[in-house]
Structure 1
Amino acid sequence: MLTSLLCEARIWPVVWRRRLAYWLAGEKENLAFLVMLGLPVLALAGIIYFAYLDGTRIAPARIQAVQREATHARRRASDLQCLAENIYFEARGEPLEGQYAVAEVTLNRTQAPNFPHTICEVVHETRWDPNRRRLVGDFSWTELGALSPPDGPAWKQAMAVASAVYDDLNTPLVPGALFYHATSVRPGWSRARRVVAAIGNHIFYQ
């Protein structure tokens, strides 16, 4: 009895392998059926695999992209606020071209040596004045302490000018200019600088 069972155990796998081989060899339709049956399985496996990749590789990349966009948006908002404040407090009484020129000087400084490289740092930069023996602001309004919050049409115009210059939408009026002063004064440093333009009540220099 035991011998018979062992014999059957050895034979049946061989029999079924042969039957499967005959079935595949004799019936091409059966092979096509198996292929059609296998394709959805492979497709499902592919979907699961790429979903896994999407969750483990692509998703972090998307998160990083969103984070970069959020950081850029915060930086842009901060830059525009500082730039518009400088336009408003330095030149809100000037013609529109004069406001553009002040904005251009502010941005030009971020690209120049010996100046900070962000707009807010440029606007609020201080330097030692040996005559007054103290730090003074590059833009005088920054020394005035608390100022009334900018508002009204003049502020809206300052924001519009800031956006246009920041996004490089205007033709430069004072290319390369890094300095300016009111026409009512004649600072000593102006003698060593080249005049770029005189607009409104300001003279601009490289």
Structure 2
Amino acid sequence: MWRLGRCLQVLWTCRGRSIKRQSGEVTPCAANMATRRCLLDRPYRRHKMILSKETALWFAVVGGLAVGVGAAFVSSRTEAKSMKFGDQVVSLIESTRTMTANDPDLGAGAISGARYCTIRKNVPSDMCLGPALVHVYGGSLSVTGASSTFTVVAASVAREGCAAAIPKIAAQPGIVSVQVGSSGARPTPISSEVADTDCAAAGATTLTIVANR
């Protein structure tokens, strides 16, 4: 590895310049001759290279650009992965955060109550169902329930359709049940046939989701 790096240095330095030996002798520096010597002649290691300031600056600039591009790529990939949760895009919110009616993550949605994120040991971060429902299905939110459960009410699910929305919501980790309207709670998973029936009966306007807190 050292020899390869040295050879590359020889090629760059030999742009119309000369090589100065330790003895003080200066010889022409043809690129092909320098490369052949560098690869085959071990004593060539002892030759003192003339490394100009221009060459050093070139290596520094190229190295800095490579590090910057690599860091930007890793950062973008990490951010993209953190925003994926099943088929839905959710917001990752701190578990101790208290939500208010004017919270920017909820848009124009109204909310009452404090923490409503699902907290599970097998999930790296708290997956907040409220912002996910608002983002994907639209509507408003209200939160009730004891410390073990909470209920999210999402209205106006017509963007994707009630029947299509229920199975996706029911498949998320931590969901206990999905209820259409104010009655008819169903355990998960909910079949498309049940969803079609309940959505038609409720007018496809309201979903109530109960999940582990």
TM-score of the pair, normalised by structure 1: 0.30
Which has more radius of gyration? 1
